[in-house]
């Protein structure tokens, strides 16, 4: 697959054509999944003829420097006068549209200078509470349109956070196919032996930060149940530590319950391609997701999946065709809130969904050939539906509509005076 040829830029005016630059705001531009999405999106938008000016409200680090090396204007806001600095950036670059990613510094300025504001909803925001929750709800007055990454994230924003559903457009995340082809070719092999895994074990790969919202204790209880049936199944959890004492307690729990040799937590590795090569299937029973990039990667690598019913999982697993969709621990997403989320993740050690997960894992291990074929179907589904270039291309008419609607509203306000 090749990227589309960049088209010449035009102005937003009587012709109705969309052009840049747009300003893209995020809280910091160092490392992380959201920051990588911003970089990738900016690259594809530029290929499609739309330039981005990137504003980091905090540190510009690793990915920000990569963006600069690729020719993007990347600003780290002044700590002395951030809003004044921001106003100057908007004026100097003639910004037509603001796009924000879980960051709100510029909202009032955008409204003040008449720049429409589009913000992304990247997750089921059930973790919001206190001032952060209040801010999200109050900030709705400064947002012209939302792009949400999944129907579940959209439903939560509308039902629990009070956002007008008519302001939300749902567009799933995608994957940069070319980049992942290159990564797979360049991957340095790892072996099962390195992690004490036998060649005839059935291995589930879990790619997720060591964040307890990813349901590590549910996996632990399911594995404890599964060990009554077989000792030939392993879960290999690849991720970075978020809260060290949470991970310490989890490791102690795995040892105490006798599953530490079957639920392995070797830490963070940047090259997931190597781990997909030694795994049979992918496992992600998270409590919340937006649209999991790790899920998309598993599809790319042709792995059948066991996923909990959150984020985009019910959009990609249809009738059990490329995996098994598990019920989640709390019921309808509209019932979830931060206190319940944290209680399930941090306090509970027994779960109503553990038995479902244990049965699903046993089904995969007992029928490896059937599920291997299912994984191949998942790979094809990714190529047909979740190519990141096409996802970003679908943003362009949304951007244009936001700009045109704002211009029309300004004309109406002027004529009504």
CATH number at residue 124: 3.40.50.2000
Alpha carbon of residue 184 to chain centroid: 21
Are residues 210 and 72 both part of a single domain? no
Domain assignment present for 115: yes
Neighbouring residues of 221: CB distance < 8 A, sequence distance ≥ 6: 349, 350, 351, 354
Are residues 138 and 216 both part of a single domain? no
Domain assignment present for 3: no
Are residues 328 and 396 both part of a single domain? no
Half-sphere exposure of 80 (CA within 13 A, CB side): 0
Closest CA to 176 of 43, 21, 323, 374: 43
Are residues 231 and 319 both part of a single domain? yes
Domain assignment present for 324: yes
Are residues 306 and 158 both part of a single domain? no
Are residues 218 and 345 both part of a single domain? yes
Please write the tens of the pLDDT for every residue from 7-22: 333 343 333 456 669 9
Distance, CA of 351 to CA of 227 (rounded, Å): 17
Are residues 144 and 213 both part of a single domain? no
Are residues 378 and 400 both part of a single domain? no
Confidence check: pLDDT of 146 > 50: yes
* CB under 8 A, 24+ apart: contacts of 108-115: 108/142, 109/83, 110/142, 111/142, 113/87, 114/406, 114/410, 115/23, 115/90
Distance, CA of 196 to CA of 159 (rounded, Å): 46
Please write the tens of the pLDDT for every residue from 297-338: 999 999 999 999 999 999 999 999 999 999 999 999 999 999
Are residues 158 and 205 both part of a single domain? no
Please write the tens of the pLDDT for every residue from 94-133: 999 999 999 999 999 999 999 999 999 999 999 999 999 9
Distance, CA of 220 to CA of 257 (rounded, Å): 8
If you average pLDDT over residues 391-410, what whole number do you get? 93
Are residues 103 and 138 both part of a single domain? yes
Domain assignment present for 2: no
Closest CA to 210 of 269, 274, 150: 269
Confidence check: pLDDT of 354 > 90: yes
Are residues 324 and 256 both part of a single domain? yes
pLDDT for residue 138: 96
pLDDT band with cut points at 50, 70 and 90 for residue 411: confident
Distances (CA, A) of 382 to 41, 177, 294, 363: 18, 9, 12, 24
pLDDT for residue 33: 85
Alpha carbon of residue 46 to chain centroid: 21
Distance, CA of 75 to CA of 59 (rounded, Å): 10
Domain assignment present for 414: no
Name the residue range of residue 372's domain.
178-385
Closest CA to 37 of 179, 213, 230: 179
Domain count, the chain: 2
pLDDT for residue 2: 32
Distance, CA of 59 to CA of 194 (rounded, Å): 37
pTM: 0.91
Q: Are 313 and 304 in contact (CB under 8 A)?
A: no
Written as six digits, the tokens of 338 are 């931060």
Domain assignment present for 417: no
Confidence check: pLDDT of 162 > 50: yes
Sheet holding 233-238, edge to edge: 263-267, 233-238, 202-207, 281-284, 305-308, 323-326
Domain assignment present for 254: yes
Domain assignment present for 12: no
* Mean predicted lDDT score pLDDT of the chain: 93
- Residue 323 pairs in a beta bridge with 305
Are residues 228 and 143 both part of a single domain? no
Angle 368-385/293-300 helices, nearest 10 degrees?
110
Element (H, E) at 342: helix 338-342
């Amino acid at each position: 697959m090749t990227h589309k040829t960049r088209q010449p830029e035009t102005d937003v005016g009587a012709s109705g054509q969309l052009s840049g630059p747009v300003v893209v705001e995020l809280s910091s531009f160092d490392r992380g999944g959201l920051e990588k999405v911003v970089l990738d999106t900016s690259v594809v938008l530029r290929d499609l003829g739309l330039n981005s000016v990137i504003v980091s409200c905090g540190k510009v680090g690793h990915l920000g420097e990569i963006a600069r090396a690729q020719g993007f204007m990347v600003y780290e806001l002044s700590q002395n006068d951030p809003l004044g600095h921001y106003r100057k950036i908007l004026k100097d670059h003639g910004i037509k549209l603001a796009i924000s990613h879980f960051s709100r510094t510029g909202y009032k300025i955008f409204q003040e200078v008449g720049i429409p504001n589009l913000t992304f909803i990247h997750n089921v925001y059930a973790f919001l509470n206190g001032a952060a929750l209040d801010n999200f709800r109050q900030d709705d007055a400064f947002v012209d349109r939302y792009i949400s990454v999944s129907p579940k994230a959209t439903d939560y924003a509308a039902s629990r956070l009070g956002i007008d559903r008519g302001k939300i457009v749902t567009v799933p995340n995608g994957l940069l196919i070319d980049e992942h082809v290159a990564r797979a070719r360049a991957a340095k092999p790892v072996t099962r032996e390195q992690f004490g895994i036998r060649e005839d074990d059935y291995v589930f790969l879990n790619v997720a930060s060591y964040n307890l919202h990813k349901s590590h204790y549910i996996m632990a209880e399911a594995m404890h149940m599964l060990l009554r049936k077989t000792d030939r199944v392993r879960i290999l959890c690849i991720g970075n530590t978020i809260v060290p004492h949470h991970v310490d307690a989890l490791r102690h729990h795995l040892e105490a319950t006798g599953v530490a040799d079957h639920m392995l937590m070797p830490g963070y590795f940047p090259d997931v391609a190597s781990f997909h090569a030694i795994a049979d299937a992918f496992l992600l029973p998270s409590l919340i997701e937006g649209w999991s990039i790790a899920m998309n990667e598993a599809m790319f690598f042709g792995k059948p999946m066991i996923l909990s019913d959150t984020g985009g999982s019910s959009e990609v697993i249809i009738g059990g065709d490329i995996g098994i969709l598990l019920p989640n621990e709390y019921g309808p997403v509209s019932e979830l809130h931060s206190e319940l989320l944290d209680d399930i993740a941090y306090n509970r050690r027994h779960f109503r969904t553990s038995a479902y997960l244990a049965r699903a894992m046993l089904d995969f291990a007992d029928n490896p050939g059937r599920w291997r074929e299912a994984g191949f179907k998942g790979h094809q589904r990714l190529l047909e539906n979740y190519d990141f270039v096409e996802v970003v291309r679908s943003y362009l008419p949304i951007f244009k509509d936001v700009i045109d609607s704002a211009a029309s509203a300004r004309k109406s306000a002027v004529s009504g005076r």
